[in-house]
Structure formats: structure tokens, C-alpha cells
Amino acid sequence: MASLDTKFKLNTGAEIPAVGFGTWQDKDAQEGAVTEALKAGYTHIDTARIYGTEPAVGAAIKKSGIPRSKIFITTKLWNNAHHPDDVEPALDASLADLGTDYVDLYLMHWPVAFGRGDTMFPKDNNGKTINGDTDFVETWKAMEKTFKKGKAKAIGISNFSRKETERLLKETEVVPAAHQIEVHPYLQQNEACEWFRSKGIHVQQYSPFGNQNEIYSKGQNMGKLIDDPTLVEIGKKYNKNGAQVALAWGIAQGHSVLPKSKTPSRIKDNLEGDFKLEKEDLEKLKGVDKGMRFNDPSANFGWNFYVGEDGKVE
């Protein structure tokens, strides 16, 4: 069964493909991986300044011969460029690496500012992160300007709490088009996702396979989400695997999902995670929610993320 090719509408009126191709990690493998993804039929590619994969994404798109207008590209502003004077130059640098004059979606990667400069993770002599003093509201106002200039067709946020988002909405003009957060069947965040939706903010799921990623130490001493018996059992009914069920679950919530892989067969399989789950199976999947968050870099980043949100361990 091929992919349904589901698309969602952003508050700008633009359409975003439900399955995006994530390019975090494995920097040197990304040009080949993105080439495979485009060949398989992906039209939505997700990158970020910090990933170091923008040049690979740009090169793969160029080689593919697919018109720029047919591909939805997301990239993200890194924490060292939050000062209002640094936002547009940071986007310009991303655009140069991507080989394009606009991105479809530009996200503020985290609500925290690091010290200004070329160092991605500025540290003091004790190895502690040096934080900047720019408030995310000021950063957002600078992002609004890139949106108005057309360099970013839509702007959004990532890793914000509802409280932080509420402040942003109150003190700025442009409602974020999207919010990219950790969501998967083990961290369903129904209440938060419903709240973002009610504000006209589209939810994007990063780490849609939860603890499949070895970088998350918290998920290492437990079974993998994609091997969860409930997901595997539901998958058999549709001739799908647990990973594909996890993606279909996200799409059924109205979210776009961002799986990543460098294996051609898995790249193709993930795109085929865009299929329709029956209501009874969606009901069963409600039962696997553990409120389990695998990604929380609060200690390293000098900022208390996700306050008041599911899966936050204080």
C-alpha cells in the first residue's frame, strides 16, 4: 500500500506534507539519505542550523532536479543567534547553504538564548553553557521581519511550553504556524496538542519513534516504542510494522511527523506510515501513553524547559 500523501494546512494557507524527512545526526550520510528520500517521494525535508546538514540537503535537492516549489523545506534558528541583529543574517547563512532564497518554515529551535558569536555551544571555563540575555519575544519579532520579507514563508517555534507560547502570543503579532515538539505514542501530550491546535498552531512531531534514538539515555533500559506489542499487533492487521503504526497514529492526530533514517528500505517504509488507522485501533493506542519524555536538555542549556508539560521530571 502506497502513502496516502496526506497534507495539512498551516495558518498561512500553505500546505505541509504530513510526513517529513528528518536530517538530525549522521551529518556525512545526509546527502545520500536526502537523495533517497526525494527518490522515494518525500516532498518535506526538515533540517536545522545546528544539525550541520543544510549543505547536504541543498546539494541533494539540487541534484534531484525536482523544482524548488515542489519541496517543503524547514530549518531552524540556533540559540547563538537569538539577538535581533543576528536573526536575519543567520537565516541568510542557512539559505545560502540550502541553495534557496526562501524556506517554507523557519523555527526558533529553543526558547533559550546562548551567548552571541560563532560558537554553537559557548561554554565558560567550568564547561557551563554561557547564556545570552535576549528574550525570546525579541527574537520572535526579528523572525516576524523575515516572514514579512518573504525569506521565510512561515515561522514557528520548537520546544516551547504552553506558558511560554501564551506569552509569545500576547506580546507579538504573528501567530506561530507550527510548533515542533517531542510527541509519540509514549508521550501523547493530548491536552497540550489540543491547546496549540486551538490557537491555530500546527503540531509537528520530532522523535516520532520515541526511544528508538540511542542518544536518549532515558530510553535505553526499556523496550523500544516501535516494538511495543500493541503497535506491532495493530500493524499486523494492516501489513505494517510498529514504526509505521507510530507514524499513522501521529498523522491521525492531525500532526506532521518527522522520521529519520539513512537506510533506503526504511526511508521508503516510513513514507508508507501515512495510512489510515481505524477508530478502534486509535482507541487502543491511547492505552500505551506513558507520559514519557526522552529529550530534556534543561541541565545542559541553562533553561528549565517544558514546565507544566507532560513527562517533565522536576
Residues carrying an active site annotation: 51
Burial string for 241-265 (b: 16+ CB within 10 Å, else e) reads: bbbbbbbbbbbbbebbbbbbbbeee
**Residues 177 and 202 sit within 8 Å (Cβ to Cβ):** yes
CA neighbor of 174 nearest in space, from 89, 86, 108, 88: 108
What are the Cα distances from residue 26, in Å, to 4, 31, 95, 295?
28, 10, 21, 18
- Specify whether the backbone of 308 is left (phi greater than 0), alpha (psi in -120 to 50) or beta: left
Burial string for 99-117 (b: 16+ CB within 10 Å, else e) reads: ebebbbbbbbbbbbbbbbe
Per-position DSSP letters for 95-140, written without gaps between them: HHHHT-S-BSEEEE--SPPBPSSS-SS-B-TTSPBPB----HHHHH
